[in-house]
């Protein structure tokens, strides 16, 4: 008999993988279920889920049948809401009403990682949901935002109490590790912004880091309506090329230069 803790642990592991588009659990000849992403099976151990767990998920309405043969299941709204509550580090019910999703980001060592992003607050995620930008552009923008956050470049709007109460207990090694991590993120951020170039990186910062919407950015820069989307697309292409997420930037038209008064 499985405990609730075991069911929830397995649910978190599997549901994180089911949050993406075109993801499903499909029944195999052995009776177990195999994760499929973008039509491709994940044949590693991490891609398998026991039949008993799937049955437990179904009794909780966390999965929805996809009507295929062999049978397959996708993540239901109830399952996604449960995962958001489970992953919440603050108010779980507030997180339930956010649009949290797992996005691929580039880690400091060059490997790919996953980050939880609230799509409700991310202009890039909204653009991706409307198919105005592709997955590589989204990943590039979220990677830039991640480094911006780790580098602690955002202006602080309140007193950092941890600096007052925790400084005496933090070891020198911990402090050095934290300082090195912040410095490395700052260097990566500056290198990326320099590579994208002036004129383009201004809009990139506003949208990716300051979370400014395109219409608001157009008003701020005095640009024509819908022109910011074109500029942002070019900037994200350069950023994705810099991060190695694409091999060659698409030919979206040449941009000779911008002069902002």
Q: Are residues 41 and 130 in the same domain?
A: no
What is the reported pTM? 0.50
State both tokens at 239. 């950023």
Question: Does 223 lie in the same domain as 114?
Answer: yes
Domain that holds residue 57: 4-85
- For residues 80 and 104, state if they share a domain: no
Residue 145 shares a structural domain with residue 175 = yes
Query: Looking at the structure, do residues 77 and 117 belong to the same domain, yes or no?
Result: no
User: Looking at residue 61, which CATH number applies to its domain?
Assistant: 1.10.10
How far apart are the C-alpha atoms of 82 and 119, rounded to whole Å?
17
What DSSP character marks residue 7? H
From residue 160, how far is each of 1, 152, 157, 170, 204 by CA, in Å?
Answer: 47, 12, 9, 15, 28
Alpha-carbon distance 217 to 229, whole Å? 10
Residues 25 and 147 in one domain: no
Cβ-in-10-Å burial (0-12, 13-18, 19+) of 169 comes to exposed
Q: How many domains does the chain have?
A: 2
pLDDT of residue 94: 45
Does residue 255 belong to any structural domain of this protein? no
Residues 47 and 172 in one domain: no
For residues 63 and 113, membership in a common domain is answered with no
Non-local CB neighbours of 108 within 8 Å, separated by 6+ positions: 181, 184, 185, 188
Specify whether 149 is located in the same domain as 26: no
Q: What is the pLDDT along the chain (261 residues), one digit of tens a residue?
A: 678 889 999 998 898 888 766 889 999 999 999 999 877 888 888 889 999 999 999 999 999 999 888 899 998 888 888 887 776 544 444 444 444 555 444 444 444 444 555 555 678 888 888 889 998 999 999 899 888 888 877 654 333 434 433 444 545 655 565 677 888 889 999 999 999 998 899 999 999 988 888 988 898 889 998 899 999 999 999 999 999 988 776 665 444 443 433
Q: Are 121 and 212 in contact (CB under 8 A)?
A: no
Examine the domain organization and report whether 239 and 119 are in the same domain.
yes
Is 203 within a domain?
A: yes
Within a domain: 234: yes
Using DSSP bridges, classify how beta strands 40-41 and 63-65 pair: parallel, antiparallel or unpaired: unpaired
Q: Give the residue from 59, 85, 111 where a domain finishes.
A: 85
- Does one domain contain both 200 and 228? yes
Do residues 148 and 211 both lie within one domain? Answer: yes
């Amino acid at each position: 008999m499985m405990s609730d803790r075991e069911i929830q642990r397995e649910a978190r592991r599997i549901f994180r993988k089911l949050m993406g588009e075109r993801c499903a659990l499909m029944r195999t000849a052995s009776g177990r279920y195999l994760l499929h992403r973008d039509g491709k099976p994940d044949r590693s151990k991490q891609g398998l889920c026991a039949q008993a767990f799937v049955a437990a998920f179904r009794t909780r309405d966390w999965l929805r049948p996809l009507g295929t043969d062999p049978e397959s299941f996708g993540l239901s709204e109830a399952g996604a809401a449960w995962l958001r509550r489970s992953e919440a580090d603050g108010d779980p019910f507030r997180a339930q009403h956010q649009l949290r999703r797992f996005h691929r980001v580039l880690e400091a060592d060059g490997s790919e990682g996953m980050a939880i992003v609230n799509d409700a607050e991310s202009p890039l995620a909204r653009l991706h949901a409307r198919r105005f930008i592709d997955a590589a552009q989204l990943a590039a923008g979220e990677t830039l935002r991640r480094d911006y956050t780790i580098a602690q470049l955002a202006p602080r709007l309140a007193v950092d109490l941890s600096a007052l109460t925790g400084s005496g207990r933090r070891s020198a090694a911990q402090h050095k590790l934290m300082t090195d991590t912040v410095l490395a993120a700052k260097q990566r951020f500056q290198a990326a912004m320099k590579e994208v170039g002036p004129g383009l990186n201004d809009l990139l910062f506003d949208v990716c880091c300051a979370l400014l919407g395109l219409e608001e950015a157009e008003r701020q820069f005095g640009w024509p309506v819908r022109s910011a989307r074109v500029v942002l697309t070019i900037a994200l292409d350069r950023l994705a090329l810099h991060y190695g997420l694409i091999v060659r930037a698409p030919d979206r038209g040449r941009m000779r230069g911008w002069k902002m008064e």
